[in-house]
Amino acid sequence: MTVRYRQQALADIDDIFQYLNERSPSGARHVLSAIADAIDEIAANPDAWQATSASDIRAKTVGRYRYKIFYAVAGNETVEIIHVRHTARRPWV
């Protein structure tokens, strides 16, 4: 499937990188790589992860880094990444 990113998701990923890069550049690269891998998994199998309280939005947790990627499936060809946030923050949906 094709992956599209909402502006919010792009801003989230940039904020995550900026925050982590100030503390540990190599850590920031590892986290972003894990997020990218998780997005690839979403694109390959978008129905595999948990539904949220919003019927059209699903979420995948990025394992050991505890980030959640919120996304929607748009038609049969596209996954739209909506938001990326750490699970320690209050729930989004």
**pLDDT value for 33:** 97
Question: Using an 8 Å Cβ cutoff, are 81 and 36 in contact?
Answer: no
Please, which pLDDT band fits residue 90 given cuts at 50, 70 and 90?
A: low
Return the percent helix, strand and coil in the chain, to nearest 5: 45, 30, 25
Sheet strand arrangement including 67-74: 2-5, 78-86, 67-74, 58-62, 50-51
Please state, in angstroms and rounded to a whole number, the distance separating the CA atoms of residues 37 and 34.
5
Distance of CA 27 to the CA centre of its chain: 17
Domain contains 7: yes
User: CATH number for the domain including 71?
Assistant: 3.30.2310.20
Average pLDDT over residues 87-93: 70
Residue 12 lies in a domain: yes
Boundaries of domain holding 27: 2-86
Q: Domain tally for the chain?
A: 1
